[in-house]
A and B are shown apart, each in its own frame.
Chain A
Amino acid sequence: MNDTVLDVSDLHLHRGARPVLAGVSLDVRRSELVAVMGPSGSGKTTILRAIAGLERFQAGRITVDGIALAGGAAIPAPTLRELRRKVGMVFQFHCLFEHLSAIDNVCLAPVHAYGVSPARASQRALQLLAAFGVEHRAMAMPSQLSGGEAQRVAIARALAVDPPLLLMDEPTASLDPERRAELGALLNGLRRQGRTLVIATHDEDFVQEWTTRVVRLRDGVIEPAPRSA
């Protein structure tokens, strides 16, 4: 059985003449929590965006749970649709839909993109919100949520369609230490349930404490680095 959930090989991505990723390879297995680290502008976020199908790349290959994206041409729409089921993404600024309540944010994609009945979608959304300790905020609008609450709703939204791979961009950026520990525990729990996570972060302490592996990006390539604790 192939345990690899994410396979990035020799990924090249440039914007105009400027290379952003110059041959990145990365292999992530089921139940790993991998941190991509590196200085600002090193391409951490870009890798996540490419995996989520938000960036075109010029060469290389990304495979997520059997769905392969090839460099060069635009990604065909059917491939992109399949990819969306496989990858969930939580943005640094959460990007909740401002006009919908927390629970409606979570239910939007299951109901409209995957044809789940509204009743079942709500039930599942409440379970997710409860699992992350924000079910009492289900009817709140995004502008009424704290940073930590908004992040949990965003995670619930990404997991509502049950993707095997979850990407998070700078998840600890707006959290105080206490909330950071709670997030670590939450992600760890997801990992134990068999979810695979890749996060882009600056946060050495968080990485030391919670992730299973660190890769470091510098100048568009992954540095050979010792395994973290």
Chain B
Amino acid sequence: MLRWAGDPEGGAPFVEADPSRPDRVVGFDVEVADLFARGLGRTPEFLNVEYKSIDQSIARGDADIGMSGIEDTPARRATLAVTIPYYEFREVLSVRDADAARIRSLADLRGKTVGTLGGTIAYEILLRAQREHGLRAVSYDDDVHPYSDLLIGRVDAVLLDNVLAERRHRTMKGLTILPQTVAVGHYVGLLSAQSAPLRDSLNEILRTSMRDGTLERIFRKWDVWNDDQPQLYARLLAGEPVPAVTGLDASANVATMTRWEAARRYFPSLLRASAITIILSCLSMGLAVAIGVLIATGRVYAGRPAQAALTAYVELIRGTPILLQLFVLYYGLAAAIRLPAFVAALLGLALNYAAYESEIYRSALEAIPVGQLEAARTLGLSERQVLTLVRAPQAFRLALAPMTNDFVALLKDSSLVSVLTVLELTKQTQIFATNLGSWVIPGTLCAALYLAMSLPLAAFARRLEQRWRTVRP
């Protein structure tokens, strides 16, 4: 058996669920995997792994080989084993038709926003261009939303390989692929560092298939064959070395640095991402508290219809995943309101946490004994004064500890907004780890930064709890 890992979410022509039999996968990577298995005399078995986790999955030994449009990079060569390339692609820019005359290269994108798939060579190129050309790089978790956001104007260009660009170009109207090649890269099979013997066998199978036209048949079938491939095969069969990437200076790549040097290089970006995390968390918590107070007050004091509507809101939010809510807010509503990513992230977290906060406040308000409210009324306080002078201040004390816990939870849940292209701490760590080919240092730094933010809060909550406890019987 030959276990191979891929991500069917990436879709055709790489790996996708067979439309007629959704339990099976099809695509050129599937056929190359079949080729490998046949050559080894084994049966192929597909393992579904998220694209950005394929490296870690292979390093762990979940599968023998990873293939899903996996790019050859210096980092992968340094930390894992890669086969010889079996396909050459070009990194190309896509823009809206209206901009095609004005934009010719990355240098024309100063001050503009450019999207791509995270953890790819294209993203590395954009980060470099961010410094050199003053554009803004935005990383996505998939290769469809960069193009849909390009169409609606959230980004001004998308840099991705020509296979992905051409596929989108066929299904979306209004996009132009610029002729200039930004960089040249290759798809390879990915193996663990210990699998060099297996890698050598696979390389032999690839060379044979290059010679006898099997690979050409596969790529023609999936409509991605072009003149670049015979030239690549000729160089490989002649024994010429093929660099991982052409057009991106690899000397500054973190994989070639020592771990500590890399950590030192990345630390400022982790700190910046921490700032995003803490700012986003504080703002969304503030908003969640305000909305939560309104919901709770409404549920305790308002009339039946308003109560029913607020209860429905709370149950809807609590009963559905926050990830879904973020997607709907950012992508689902894009046709109606085009929220900037940070605003969508802020609103999504705030609206979600408001539902939970409102439940805390509601139960806190209801925990204040009726006798106190009646005592306040007999003293001549108005209903509003009963709420603001007697009920709410006591409810607030009850709510403070659970609120602080929620704030710590929000701090960590804020990592979810990376799906909306917001570059917060977890996402930045992931990028760091992908480029470095290891999670040890990035993971440790990331955990330390989260703890540095959450521990003071936890301590604050404990202190308050102790203080209230000495006052209450």
Contacts and interface: CB of A to CB of B under 8 A. Distances in A.
Contacts of A15: none
Range for the number of chain B residues in contact with chain A: 20 to 34
Interface string B378-402: 1111100100011001100100000
Given A91-B371, A112-B389, A98 B378 contact: no
Nearest to B383: A77
A79 interface: no
B394 A143 contact: no
A141 interface: yes
Given A109-B381, A113-B385, A143-B473, A99 B374 contact: no
Interface in A140-172: 141, 143, 154, 157-158, 160-161
A91 to B, nearest CB: 5
A141 B470 CA distance: 11
Given A95-B371, A108-B389, A112-B385, A157 B379 contact: yes
B380 A99 contact: no
Interface in B388-428: 389-390, 393-394, 397
A97 B473 contact: no
Nearest to A106: B379
A88 B378 contact: yes
Contacts of B473: 143
Q: Chain B contact residues: over half helix, strand or loop, or mixed?
A: helix
A108 B393 contact: no
A89 interface: yes
Nearest to A89: B378
Interface in B326-354: none
A114 B380 CA distance: 8
Contacts of A54: 374, 377-378
B393 A95 contact: no
A113 B381 CA distance: 5
B406 to A, nearest CB: 22
Contacts of B390: 97, 108
A165 to B, nearest CB: 11
B375 interface: yes
B471 A161 contact: no
A192 interface: no
Interface of A: 52-54, 81, 84-85, 87-89, 91, 93, 95-99, 108-109, 112-114, 141, 143, 154, 157-158, 160-161
Given A81-B380, A143-B472, A161-B380, 11 more contacts: A52-B378, A53-B378, A91-B371, A95-B371, A95-B374, A95-B375, A98-B394, A113-B379, A141-B471, A154-B375, A160-B379
